[in-house]
Structure 1
């Protein structure tokens, strides 16, 4: 059976690029790191590193082991946290993955209410817009088509649909329209508010393509807060999810988009937690309440 601590030392060597660097990062001696590597090679029967000049480089087998050990070590870390929580008298731990607009709209109220109902619960919130190493959160807020199957050991809870809107400067000719068609934005300078390959950007581009429009993205802001700043400065317009266009400054206006309008489908992917489901189920219920009754966020 592999030793989790030796695997951790091994992964540090791979990530750090050498024994001495790993030793410095881990607060160990280089000889202790080398002993762990030698023991791991004996346990696995694999050649994990090769000499390269005055240093070492990981073999192909080492790179595979490093990648495949990510999830098991994450679960081991989760188990270690559970032990710590039990030792300190805490009732449990719940991790929630979220994207930026959900973070600003829902997470503060959710955390406040959940913490008041479960004062001994340890809550961990993880921004999931970037690739994460380790296990998936217990509750993961996602942007996916409604027919996307959940991963094994999880269930999918539909939350809401989030139509996209247009944010324009208050002095823009369309500012008083209330509702516009995507084709009304032909010839405008567009400000992106997401990474080029991200799901929301793809939704907007696909909706535009469906009506024969090719947006001219002249500014890549890659987040909605910065994009709104560019719009307020008169640089251009931005099409973003309605949830991201909350609490706008007075210098900009949000407009609805006439059908066919882009829309994103929001869901919660919930880990099947066995007997300890009460906090997770309550968190999902609170999310649904916040979405159904937005005014509750202000109370």
Structure 2
């Protein structure tokens, strides 16, 4: 079995760029770092660094090894956290997955209320929009409902909210003062995307536009909510965005937020609870979310 301390030192050398830099970053002497690297090379039977001028250059084996230790170091960090929790008397940990707009609107209040009710609970909040190896690690996962989605075995799905999309228009747009708008009225506009093309929220919008008889032409691939709103504010074009992500201060003189008439894109948001029978903290988090959304 590989020595994990040597792995940490090796990763520091790779990230720092030299033995001297790694020594400075870790608080060791360069000699101690060199000894750990030599021991790791003997332990693995691999040549990890080669002389290049006055320094060392990582080999292909070193680049491959560092990639394969990413997951290991993540698991070791989790283990360190568990040990710390046990040592300090904290009895539970709750991991919540969330997407960006839910994070901004709901997670701060949820975290505060959970901390008030369960001061010994360790709360870990992780953005779930980036796929993770090994499936979902979350005790509670806030998701956009996808038809036919397969939840982890033994989990429970709880509907949380319906989130209608809204249209964001520059204040000087001809329809800026309308009380409501249809997607078809925006067909000829310059469209700004606010999510990745294959993301579920983009697919929901695309389906509604198809129902309205057209496909939008995205002249700006912003692919995130904040940048898309900034483009609208600058008068570049319009964007159609989930209401939860489309909050603009009423005092903003540059943007108008309009409801959309049918066929209106809508996303449905749910919470997936792992081990619902025995996960007291996750079940309480869902109750607090439902109370928050009333």
Q: Name the TM tier (shorter chain).
A: 0.7 to 0.9
Deviation per CA, 1:147-203, whole angstroms, max 9, x where unpaired? Answer: 33346x784635445332212245643345444332211221233334567554455
Shift of 1:30: 1.8
Match of 1:99 in 2: 99
Corresponding residue number in structure 2 for 1:38: 38
Whether contact under 8 Å (1:70, 1:133) holds in the other structure is no
Query: 2:260 aligns to what SS in structure 1?
Result: strand
Please point out which of 258, 261, 271 is paired with 1:254: 258
Distance verdict in 2 for CA 1:200–1:5, change over 3 Å: farther
For 1:10 and 1:78, the matched residues in 2 are separated by 20
Structure 2 CA distance for aligned equivalents of residues 207 and 49 of structure 1: 56
Alpha-carbon distance between aligned partners in 2 of 1:230 and 1:63, rounded to the nearest angstrom: 40
Match of 1:67 in 2: 67
| Alignment root-mean-square deviation, CA | 3.5
Give the TM-score normalised by the residue count of structure 2: 0.79
Does residue 120 (structure 1) correspond to residue 124 (structure 2)? The answer is no
Unpaired segments of 5 or more residues in structure 1? Answer: 294-299
CA displacement 1:245-273 (0-9 Å, x = unmatched): 235424422222522x4444544455559
Q: C-alpha separation between the residues in 2 aligned to 1:6 and 1:37?
A: 7
CA distance in 2, matches of 1:257, 1:168: 15
Whole-Å separation in 2 of the counterparts to 1:56 and 1:207: 57
**Secondary structure at 2:39's aligned position in 1?**
helix
C-alpha distance 206-273 of structure 1, shift in aligned 2 (>3 A): closer
Report the alpha carbon displacement of residue 278 of structure 1 after superposing the two structures with TM.
1.9
- How has the CA–CA distance of structure 1 residues 205 and 46 changed in structure 2, closer, same or farther, with 3 Å as cutoff? farther
Q: What is the CA deviation profile of residues 109-158 of structure 1, one whole-angstrom value per residue up to 9, with x for unaligned ones?
A: 2112111110111223334445789994543434462433346x784635
What pairs with 1:169-180 in structure 2 (closer than 5 Å)? 169=170, 172-175=173-176, 177-180=178-181
- The residue number in structure 2 matching 1:89 is 89
After superposition, the C-alpha distances for 1:260-298 in whole angstroms (9 at most, x for unaligned) are x444454445555996x322232233234434x1xxxxx
Distance in 2, matches of 1:60 and 1:273, equals 46
Match of 2:56 in 1: 56
Superposition map of 1:155-194 within 5 A: 155=155, 157-159=157-159, 160-169=161-170, 172-175=173-176, 177-194=178-195
Q: Shift of the alpha carbon at 1:240?
A: 0.7
| 1:58-115 deviation line (CA, Å, top 9, x unaligned) | 3343333322322222122112112112222222333333332112211122112111
Distance 1:257 1:229, change over 3 A: farther
How many residue pairs get matched? 288
CA distance in 2, matches of 1:53, 1:177: 69
**Which residue of structure 2 lines up, in the alignment, with residue 296 of structure 1?**
none
SS in 2 for 1:180: coil
Query: Given the superposition, is the C-alpha separation of residues 241 and 92 from structure 1 closer, same or farther in structure 2, using an over 3 Å criterion?
Result: same
Q: Distance in 1 between matches of 2:30 and 2:11?
A: 15
* Counterpart in the other structure of 1:18: 18
Task: Name the structure 1 match of 2:8.
Answer: 8
Contact 1:175 1:255 in 2 (8 A): no
- Residues 169 and 253 in structure 1, CA contact (< 8 A), matched pair in contact too: no
CA distance in 1, matches of 2:24, 2:197: 38
Taking structure 1 as reference, are residues 76 and 262 closer, same or farther at Cα in structure 2, changes over 3 Å only? Answer: same
Distance 2:156 2:127 in 1: 19
Aligned to 1:224: 225
TM-score (norm 1): 0.78
1:61–1:209: structure 2 CA closer, same or farther, 3 Å change rule? farther
Q: Which runs of 5+ in 2 are unaligned?
A: none
